[in-house]
Amino acid sequence: MKKTAITLIVIGIAVVVGANLYTGSLPEPVPPRVADGTTLRSTTAGDVVGFRDRMGARAWQGIGYARPPVGERRWRAPLEPAAYEEVFEALAPGNVCPQFASLLNSDDDEFTSGAVVGDEDCLYLNVWSPPNAVDLPVMFWIHGGGNSIGHGGSYNGAALAVERDVVVITINYRLGVFGWFAHPDLASGDPLDDSGNYGNLDVIRALQWTQANIDQFGGDPNNVTVFGESAGGTNTLAMLASPLAAGLLHRAIVQSGGFDATTMTRAQAYSEDGGHDRSARELVAHLLVNDGTVADRAAAKAHQADMGRDQLRAYLMSKPAAEILTTLNDGMYGMVDLPEVFADGHVLPDLPSEEIFSDPDNHNMVPIVLGTNRDEPTTFMIFDPTHVTRWLGILARLRDEDTYRRLVHYGAQSWKERGVDRIAAQMTQAGNPNVYAYRFDWDEEPSRLGFDLGTALGAGHGLEIAFAFNDFEGGFGIGYLYPDDEAQHALASSMTSYWSEFAHNGDPGRGRDGNETHWLAWGTNGKHSIILDTPEDQGIYMDDERVTIASVKQALAADSGFSDPVDQCAVYANNFRGEHFEQAEFEALNSACAGIDPVSLRWF
């Protein structure tokens, strides 16, 4: 396995999973930490002691913010943690939540793809604060990873905390089928337990812990900025949408996120009845077949219909986490396509996202930053043999650079439309004067053996995280991607300056240092997004671009540069689905589209 890892380093390709990035070189083991008496703090569960981290930051890791969701607590709303019997030494991150193994969450040289790591006892958080911190803004990070992999221990908030006078929190939350599962036959009448939104409820519980305890760590409970990337961005928006999170957060930063809650029908029903392919009923059917209880799916449906609530729950409780997960099979980088973030009507409103964010009565309206990266799709395309040719396992080239860049451009534009401009317009309509948008454009990766990572990866999904934390080593494992030059560090300084000024005052303005380009609210003077790049490239400036579905469709229809017309059809099929897909419009793109089933062109 180490040989494979070294090969990836030579090629110079990063594996990016939401918030976590891996080059093939596992982080060095953390040296034993020693409890520091100056870090003794009192919490509602008892006293905890931490350690001194990098740059003199005070750090506490592995603090439980809820009771372990194990045994009968599986698929239940989280409860407050039990009291400590003695001083708790918070010196290392807690268990990762159950997920498929990958180089992102395992330090085992011999791990097998498809194996499961983690423990259901995983609801822990980590805190960093500057020395002598008092009433500082709190920056509460929700990791990404498709809501099926990742953990808060991958991030180090020391630099952000010390350099920008903030308290940083990172959390774990239940993932995948343990974070989102709503079988109708398990309904108990408790709207929290029946919501199926356990991952979102975990975030809310962690925010409640923050309200009750963060003053002991130098943070201001009345100034909490929730920020997250990818799935973490989705979960950040879920906190704005949830009435249960009202008053628990005061600002939000959404990095490469978006929000489109899953209906309860899709979360619960069989696929032929409008459910997801891995809905709650489908999952139980798979388990019944896989463990030999029944012979096939038809028999599983009949058996499941005959199981009462108690029998069904006992059956599911008897299954180890690993058996449930391996029924699903892992996908790209260990992520699993599952229904998530349910419009249950209690934890999250049963309303279209437009109605939620365009009405101040339907969401927690706070100052917000929304952003995407210019080349979002590259992270998921760079290993695809459709686009990249490899020789001898160490050399790589793009098959067709022009087509590749076109696919990346339209995918990134569509992401910007749904994750930034659409939501920004809705929130502005709701009367929010503090909506800010950005686009991250850094693309100065080096070439490796002639493979130009600046073109192939560029400003790919997740690459802004290291800049936002000013941590190019930490647990991300992608230090080799960055040239470690003055330009890189200047951009990181600017981004942490903006991020922390927003946390302090709800307006990124000219940054914490007061000398950055003025970041204007969305729509001010005809400007919409700030472009974030190094001084040696484009620099930082306000841009007037506003992306809409209509503008992306118009540009795609007018684009005559595709070498293969089927690629133009595929761009439409993948970027416009559901209500945004129009058959006549699709067929009108070019003569090839008329004879193709658009579903056959979808990449996921």
pLDDT interval class at 390 (50, 70, 90): confident
Any residues with CB less than 8 A from the CB of 93 and at least 6 apart, and which? 61, 62, 124, 126, 151, 152, 153
Domain match, 142 and 290 both: no
d(CA 206, CA 97): 15
Q: Are 425 and 435 in contact (CB under 8 A)?
A: no
Residue 348 has pLDDT above 60, yes or no: yes
Q: Are 142 and 153 in contact (CB under 8 A)?
A: no
Average pLDDT, the chain: 91
Residue 551 has pLDDT above 70, yes or no: yes
Burial pattern 29-46, b for ≥16 Cβ within 10 A else e, equals eeeebeeeeebebebebe
Q: Which of 143, 208, 182, 207 is nearest to 475 (CA)?
A: 143
Domain match, 355 and 443 both: yes
Q: Phi then psi for 333, rounded to 5 degrees?
A: 60, 20
- Give me the amino acid identity at 323: E
Question: Quick one: what percent of the chain has pLDDT higher than 70?
Answer: 91
Where do runs of H (alpha helix) occur along 525-564? Answer: 549-558
d(CA 492, CA 496): 6
Output the six-digit token pair for 599. 């579903």
- Is the alpha carbon torsion for 72, 148, 186, 300 positive or negative? negative
Residue 106 has pLDDT above 90, yes or no: no
Output the six-digit token pair for 534. 């190094």
Residue 30 has pLDDT above 60, yes or no: no
d(CA 182, CA 200): 13
Give long-range contacts, CB 8 A cutoff, 24+ apart: 349-356: 349/241, 349/243, 350/263, 350/264, 353/241, 353/259, 353/260, 353/261, 353/423, 353/426, 354/426, 356/241, 356/259
pLDDT interval class at 448 (50, 70, 90): confident
3-state secondary structure of 142: strand
At 449-489, the pLDDT tens digits run: 889 999 999 999 999 999 999 999 865 567 778 999 999 99
Domain match, 282 and 346 both: no
d(CA 268, CA 194): 11
Domain match, 493 and 554 both: no
Domain match, 18 and 114 both: yes
Q: Domain end: 318, 334, 350, which one?
A: 334
Domain match, 529 and 593 both: no
Among 180-189, 230-239, 278-287, 382-391, whose mean pLDDT is lowest? Answer: 382-391
Residue 112 has pLDDT above 60, yes or no: no
Return the bridge partners of 371, or none: 255, 438
Q: Which whole number is the average pLDDT over 548-575? A: 96
Indicate the helix (H) or strand (E) that contains 404.
Answer: helix 401-416
Residue 28 has pLDDT above 80, yes or no: no
d(CA 452, CA 471): 24
Output the six-digit token pair for 166. 């903030």
- What is the domain extent for residue 574? 549-601
pLDDT interval class at 4 (50, 70, 90): very low
Domain match, 270 and 401 both: no
Q: What is the DSSP string of 12-79?
A: T--EEETTEEE-S-PPPPPPPP---GGG-EEETTEEEE-EE-GGG-EEEEEEE-S----GGGTTS---
Among 95-104, 236-245, 351-360, whose mean pLDDT is lowest? Answer: 95-104
Output the six-digit token pair for 91. 């010196």
Q: Which whole number is the average pLDDT over 100-119? A: 68
Q: Are 362 and 261 in contact (CB under 8 A)?
A: no
Q: Which of 521, 361, 542 is nearest to 433 (CA)?
A: 521
pLDDT interval class at 14 (50, 70, 90): very low
Domain match, 373 and 477 both: yes
Domain match, 91 and 183 both: yes
pLDDT interval class at 394 (50, 70, 90): low
Domain match, 511 and 436 both: yes
At 163-189, the pLDDT tens digits run: 999 999 999 999 999 999 999 999 999
Domain match, 234 and 286 both: no
Among 241-245, 382-386, 438-442, 498-502, whose mean pLDDT is lowest? Answer: 382-386
Q: Which whole number is the average pLDDT over 262-267? A: 98
Domain match, 277 and 345 both: no
Q: Please count the residues of the chain.
A: 604
Output the six-digit token pair for 105. 């969450």
Residue 429: alpha-carbon gap to chain centroid: 26
pLDDT at 94: 97
Q: Domain end: 527, 543, 559, which one?
A: 543
pLDDT at 15: 35
Higher pLDDT, 499 or 20: 499
pLDDT interval class at 18 (50, 70, 90): very low
Domain count, the chain: 3
Q: Tokens 């108690």, residue?
A: 310
CATH code, domain with 25:
3.40.50.1820
d(CA 229, CA 234): 8
pLDDT interval class at 303 (50, 70, 90): very high
Q: Domain end: 494, 521, 543, which one?
A: 543
